[in-house]
A and B are shown apart, each in its own frame.
Chain A
């Protein structure tokens, strides 16, 4: 499976956090399966035109969260056993489909990406309260 990743340098969210959050979401949704190889820090940094340290920090935080593992020979891979709450399974696919529906609805309402993200964050914070 090929998963896409994008960052917005104008966003208030720092790039490392955007990378970390997206990879975490892709793992949770099952788009990145356990054992899947992630690109090297340098390669991802070159693709995105950002400093290698930024990507390294995102990878480090994912590693601390138990979502990825880094080995000398295999590089950075999605952890074989994911922490509870991050396991994909059938629910992951369902969430992914719901996200697709959200994107489709936002496009038909002519909302830009930033507006959709803000809306989503607001809903999330209301739910967690």
Chain B
């Protein structure tokens, strides 16, 4: 019962605190220093609502819901209400809360002259119909899959057995079981219903939110459609994720059966939904100075030096390279390394960082080859990294070193293997990959008649950003995969099992790990702004 009482209070406190932080961030994003709000700042606001909502929607912690592990030390309470509610409620309620806060955080009118339209705004006036139909279809398919799961029986897990046959003890591996299907279906069904109901409520909020004075009536309507697009895409992926959990459960083999192989087709469908939703672009605001992504057009302006255009084009490539581990990770996370110790996350982050750094280094080499001139002295930027990015990098480093020390102490107390060492090694390898980028940015040939110093500053800024993101991700890996060590350090052993500690999971470390994952993503996508604007030289004006 204490657990049951504890869940709602933690959810309420956690969601309230999270909502407050998101509100402050979104108000800051929507603020334009010059005019209070502008089409560009409001567009940025809508984009960040989508990004934060997407980050909050991860069902990663719930993927093995309903599975009873063969080793009870991993998760002895797979049916604990608290664990299930937290695993499902955070992504469902978190995503909906972020989108709701997004609508409530738009600033009110500030000017003396205020305009509006005398019309009743309904959801159907702004709803992207095709996307809504597809999302509805995904909800229905997931509901059907959950209904099928409700009819499936549960299996008991088969624990591992140690056989002493002669000198060498032989350990026969156990096999996972699962809880009764009806029990899991009740949880998943409830999550799906809450998600569907919450989506309708947030759609109502989007349709009803106040008119924004920085936009005309048409762009106000378009911004509502943009918000609905981002909400529907996110909830569609969550609904598909619930279907993946159901599919994972349904295809799990009976421990008594001979065959141990299993494939989850819902997992493939979930990946397809993720890709489709990732590519489903929102409509575009007609306001001036906004490009096709509703972002201010910058960088690729006419009259810009070709070297600057090359560096500008590296931005998307740099981001795509960071996605490489999505391919590698599919093997690493399920591979033998993951079974030995949870290295998957750290490998994921390191591969992303190394790939990103490789793109940056290649970009510098191409710059040197195409535009470099050994005869021209190098010009170095006065300040390579802005104070905000430098502070972020230092904080990320301190957090990582602290996490490393705490994990080492905890594992030492437990007397287990030093699993923090490989994670530290991977982080060091990722960090080492950024060294050539910094050296190339410092010592490559100069670009004559071009913004040489600013080009170097942009590359260094990107390298530091990648490094900071890697450190945050590595901290998250330590928190998410080494929870017993954290629990040992932060809880009194004599008091018995620490509060919130279930076998391999200790929720404060998991929550902190989630925060660091979000921080790593946010750091990785912070656009290059200050040094970039500086190097665009004004086009010479013809003499009057």
Q: Using a CB-CB cutoff of 8 Å, which residues 7-59 of chain A contact chain B? A: 7-10, 23, 26, 32, 37-39, 43-44, 46-50
**Residue in B110, B112, B210 whose CB lies within 8 Å of A47:** B210
Is B130 interfacial (CB-CB < 8 Å)? no
Shortest distance between the CB of B37 and any CB in chain A (Å):
12
Which single residue of chain A is at the shortest CB-CB distance from B208?
A43
User: Interface residues of B: mostly helix, strand, loop or mixed?
Assistant: loop
Contact B116 A38 (CB under 8 A): no
In the complex, A4 Cα to B209 Cα: how many Å? 17
Shortest distance between the CB of A45 and any CB in chain B (Å):
9
Known A37-B120, A39-B118: A2·B113 in contact at CB below 8 Å = no
Q: Hey, what's the 0/1 contact readout for A59-89 against B, CB within 8 Å counting as 1?
A: 0000000000000000100000000000000
Is B35 interfacial (CB-CB < 8 Å)? no
Contact A6 B114 (CB under 8 A): yes
Contact B114 A9 (CB under 8 A): yes
Shortest distance between the CB of A54 and any CB in chain B (Å):
12
Q: For residue B108, which residues in chain A have a CB less than 8 angstroms away from its CB? A: 46, 49
Contact B113 A39 (CB under 8 A): no
Q: For residue B110, which residues in chain A have a CB less than 8 angstroms away from its CB? A: 49
Is B34 interfacial (CB-CB < 8 Å)? no
Is A109 interfacial (CB-CB < 8 Å)? no
Q: For residue B117, which residues in chain A have a CB less than 8 angstroms away from its CB? A: 2-5, 47
Contact B114 A32 (CB under 8 A): no
Q: Using a CB-CB cutoff of 8 Å, which residues 212-230 of chain B contact chain A? A: 217
Contact B114 A49 (CB under 8 A): yes
Q: For residue A39, which residues in chain B have a CB less than 8 angstroms away from its CB? A: 116, 118-121
Known A4-B117, A43-B208: A10·B112 in contact at CB below 8 Å = yes
**Residue in B109, B121, B209 whose CB lies within 8 Å of A48:** B109
In the complex, A32 Cα to B114 Cα: how many Å? 20
Q: For residue B119, which residues in chain A have a CB less than 8 angstroms away from its CB? A: 2-3, 37, 39
Which single residue of chain A is at the shortest CB-CB distance from B122?
A37
Q: For residue B116, which residues in chain A have a CB less than 8 angstroms away from its CB? A: 4-6, 39, 44, 47-48
Contact B109 A4 (CB under 8 A): no
Is B115 interfacial (CB-CB < 8 Å)? yes
Interface centre among B119, B121, B211, B217 (most CB of A within 10 A): B119
Contact B217 A2 (CB under 8 A): yes
Contact B118 A38 (CB under 8 A): yes
Contact A4 B217 (CB under 8 A): yes
Known A2-B217, A46-B210, A47-B210: A32·B112 in contact at CB below 8 Å = no
Total number of residue pairs linking A and B with CB closer than 8 Å: 65
Contact B217 A7 (CB under 8 A): no
**Residue in B114, B118, B211 whose CB lies within 8 Å of A7:** B114
Which single residue of chain B is at the shortest CB-CB distance from A42?
B208
Number of interface residues of B (CB under 8 A): 18
Q: For residue A2, which residues in chain B have a CB less than 8 angstroms away from its CB? A: 117-119, 217
Q: Using a CB-CB cutoff of 8 Å, which residues 344-362 of chain B contact chain A? A: none
**Residue in B112, B113, B120, B209 whose CB lies within 8 Å of A38:** B120
In the complex, A2 Cα to B119 Cα: how many Å? 6
Contact B109 A49 (CB under 8 A): yes
Q: For residue B211, which residues in chain A have a CB less than 8 angstroms away from its CB? A: 47
Contact A6 B113 (CB under 8 A): yes
In the complex, A50 Cα to B110 Cα: how many Å? 11
Q: For residue A48, which residues in chain B have a CB less than 8 angstroms away from its CB? A: 109, 114, 116
Q: For residue A8, which residues in chain B have a CB less than 8 angstroms away from its CB? A: 112-114
Shortest distance between the CB of B111 and any CB in chain A (Å):
8
Which single residue of chain A is at the shortest CB-CB distance from B118?
A3
Q: Using a CB-CB cutoff of 8 Å, which residues 109-150 of chain B contact chain A? A: 109-110, 112-121
In the complex, A49 Cα to B114 Cα: how many Å? 8
Contact B118 A26 (CB under 8 A): yes
Which single residue of chain B is at the shortest CB-CB distance from A11?
B112
Q: For residue A37, which residues in chain B have a CB less than 8 angstroms away from its CB? A: 119-120
Shortest distance between the CB of B94 and any CB in chain A (Å):
26
Which single residue of chain B is at the shortest CB-CB distance from A49?
B109
In the complex, A43 Cα to B116 Cα: how many Å? 10
Shortest distance between the CB of A88 and any CB in chain B (Å):
15
Shortest distance between the CB of A89 and any CB in chain B (Å):
20
Q: For residue A50, which residues in chain B have a CB less than 8 angstroms away from its CB? A: 114
Q: For residue A26, which residues in chain B have a CB less than 8 angstroms away from its CB? A: 118
Which single residue of chain A is at the shortest CB-CB distance from B209?
A46
Contact A5 B118 (CB under 8 A): yes
Q: Using a CB-CB cutoff of 8 Å, which residues 425-484 of chain B contact chain A? A: none
Which single residue of chain B is at the shortest CB-CB distance from A75?
B120
In the complex, A26 Cα to B118 Cα: how many Å? 10
In the complex, A37 Cα to B118 Cα: how many Å? 9
Q: Using a CB-CB cutoff of 8 Å, which residues 60-95 of chain B contact chain A? A: none
In the complex, A10 Cα to B109 Cα: how many Å? 14
Shortest distance between the CB of B471 and any CB in chain A (Å):
43
Contact A23 B118 (CB under 8 A): yes
Q: Would you mind naming 13 contact pairs between A and B with Cβ atoms under 8 Å apart?
A: A2-B117, A3-B117, A4-B117, A4-B118, A7-B113, A9-B114, A43-B121, A44-B116, A44-B118, A46-B210, A47-B210, A48-B109, A50-B114
9 closest pairs, A vs B, by CB?
A: A47-B116, A49-B109, A6-B115, A46-B210, A9-B112, A37-B120, A49-B108, A47-B211, A3-B118
Known A8-B114, A75-B120; 15 more pairs at CB < 8 Å: A3-B117, A3-B118, A4-B115, A4-B116, A5-B116, A6-B114, A7-B114, A9-B113, A9-B114, A23-B118, A32-B118, A37-B119, A46-B108, A48-B114, A49-B109
